[in-house]
Amino acid sequence: MNDRTLYLFDGINKSSVKPIVEQIIKINQYDDDKDKKEKDFKRVPIDLIINSNGGSVYDGLGLINVIDNSKTPVHTYVYGLAASMSLLIAVSGHKRYAGRLSTFMYHSVSNHIDGHLEHLKNRIDETQRLQNIYDQYILSKTKLATADILSVQEHQRNWYMSPDEALALGIIDEIV
């Protein structure tokens, strides 16, 4: 298990997230076995390199669940863009880094809604549920304030941040 560098450079979807989830699980299984056999075994972190404009909330939350439950630390590195769902994935790292030329972007969860009125109401409820999950997670992992998030949502805009701003807001731990 020497290859502990994983890449998320596509939009977030099942096919981009699946190999990352599989590798994190395999590395944890390998490290669990080594931990049982070696007295002073020390887990080597997994590096997740991110440059993504976001994508599926469901698939992103699936990856975040795996990262949160990983005994082996997962360090996230943003080199380029961490927007929308990939921002939340970047925030999920046990340690979080960014290159000096990186960009971060927060906005409201989006959901393409069409169909009959009953279907629309159901999708709106589900979109609000996902927004609540997203916001509570980012608030729990950073220094962002609820007022910051509500302001972005009320003005229906994208909030772009520099690495310096991301560092000040606790989105990342260090600029590399």
Task: Summarize pLDDT for 94-141 with one digit per residue, the tens.
Answer: 999 999 999 999 987 766 556 667 767 778 888 889 999 999 999 999
**Alpha-carbon distance 85 to 55, whole Å?**
6
- Give the number of other CB atoms < 10 A from CB of residue 97: 21
For residues 166 and 98, is the Cβ–Cβ distance under 8 A? yes
Query: What amino acid is encoded at 151 in this protein?
Result: S
pLDDT at 100: 97
Residue positions counted in the chain: 176
- Confidence (pTM): 0.91
pLDDT at 154: 79
pLDDT band of 162, cuts 50, 70, 90 = very high
Q: Is the dihedral of CA 6, 58, 52, 142 positive or negative?
A: negative
Q: Which of 44-48, 50-54, 144-148, 156-160 has the lowest mean pLDDT?
A: 156-160
* Helix or strand holding residue 81 (H, E): strand 74-83
pLDDT at 115: 61
For residues 89 and 76, is the Cβ–Cβ distance under 8 A? yes
